[in-house]
């Protein structure tokens, strides 16, 4: 069975295979063990179908986003900073209830985030590549053309965008400036979807706050000013990781191999625009 290739720590060898003109003749399908496929952009010939591990990481990523918002809004990060300095300084944190949370990138992960946030009494607005009315198991979402109108009202902006030619730098200086003062930016998508210099300026000025699981560049170098900004919480691209998620990815890959062998339609096929 050499037509379906599950990918884990074999990215370099797969990219080398795709770079050889004679290396992809029989290859029909690539099944990744990740949700993101941006590392394959520009490398996959049109005759090869790419499938991702959509759904495997919904739960841990959604939990991370909820935890990130609670940590920042309820003062947990500030309390941790006070603990490090052994300082007892009471303060009054904000409530999460009543916040307007805009989720940018409203696929299966975005929907999972919304489901976990709604019990906290927040207002959730989803933004997808194009607007949809809901149904077919999917929640309704506004389109990207509504983003500029929504940003001035977003007290929390959750960015779950995949990286593509459309989304690279989408949250640029102009759009970041549309966010209200003290807005919280939570990035669990891809670092390069946000203008890194513009974000650093907003955070360093104290106008915005951020929780970043992904950065640009990545890994974040030790000399980056982001490490020392007090209104920033950074995790090392682990938001979607868990032992349970790893098991789910291999179950997805196994199911895809069985589907391929039986001539059935493969699940989680990645649109070509995300590969070009």
Distance CA(16)–CA(75), nearest Å, equals 47
The CA-to-CA distance between both ends of the chain, in Å, stands at 27
Distance CA(93)–CA(75), nearest Å, equals 5
Q: How much is the pLDDT for 103? A: 98
Of all residues in the chain, what percent carry a pLDDT higher than 70? 93
Work out the angle at residue 57's Cα, subtended by the Cα atoms of residues 258 and 99, and round it to the nearest 5 degrees.
150
Instruction: Sketch out the chain's domains with CATH numbers.
Output: 4-56+242-274 (3.40.50.720), 58-234 (3.40.50.720)
Q: How much is the pLDDT for 20? A: 75
Q: What residues act catalytically?
A: 190, 218, 237
Give the closest residue to 186 by CA, choosing from 119, 109, 242. 109
Q: How much is the pLDDT for 56? A: 97
Q: How much is the pLDDT for 21? A: 66
pLDDT in tens, 29-77: 999 999 999 999 999 999 899 999 999 999 999 999 999 999 999 999 9
Q: How much is the pLDDT for 211? A: 98
Any idea what DSSP says for residue 231? T
**Which two tokens mark 25?**
């003749």
Residue ranges of the chain whose pLDDT lies below 70? 1-12, 21-24, 135-138
Q: How much is the pLDDT for 133? A: 85
């Amino acid at each position: 069975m050499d037509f379906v290739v599950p990918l884990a720590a074999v990215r370099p060898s797969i990219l080398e295979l795709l770079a050889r003109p004679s290396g992809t003749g029989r290859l029909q399908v690539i099944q990744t063990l990740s949700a993101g496929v941006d590392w394959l952009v520009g490398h996959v010939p049109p005759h090869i179908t790419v499938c991702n591990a959509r759904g495997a990481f919904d739960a841990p990523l959604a939990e991370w986003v909820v935890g990130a918002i609670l940590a920042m809004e309820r003062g947990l990060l500030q309390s941790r900073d006070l603990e490090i300095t052994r300082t007892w300084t009471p303060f009054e944190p904000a409530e999460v209830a009543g916040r307007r949370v805009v989720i940018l990138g409203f696929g299966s992960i975005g929907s999972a985030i919304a489901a976990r946030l709604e019990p906290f009494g927040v207002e959730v607005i989803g933004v997808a590549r194009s607007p949809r009315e809901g149904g077919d198991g999917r929640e309704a979402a506004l389109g990207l053309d509504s983003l500029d109108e929504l940003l001035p009202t977003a007290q929390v902006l959750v960015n779950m965008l995949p990286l593509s030619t459309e989304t690279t730098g989408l949250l640029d200086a102009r759009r970041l400036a549309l966010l209200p003062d003290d807005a919280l930016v939570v990035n669990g998508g891809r670092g390069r979807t946000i203008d890194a210099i513009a974000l650093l300026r907003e955070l360093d000025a104290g106008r915005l706050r951020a929780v970043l699981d992904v950065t640009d560049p990545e890994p974040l170098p030790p000399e980056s000013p982001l490490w020392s900004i007090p209104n920033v919480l950074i995790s090392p691209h682990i938001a979607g990781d868990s032992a349970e998620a790893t098991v789910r990815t291999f179950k997805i890959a196994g199911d895809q191999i069985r589907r391929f062998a039986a001539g059935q339609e493969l699940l989680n096929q990645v649109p070509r625009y995300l590969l070009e």
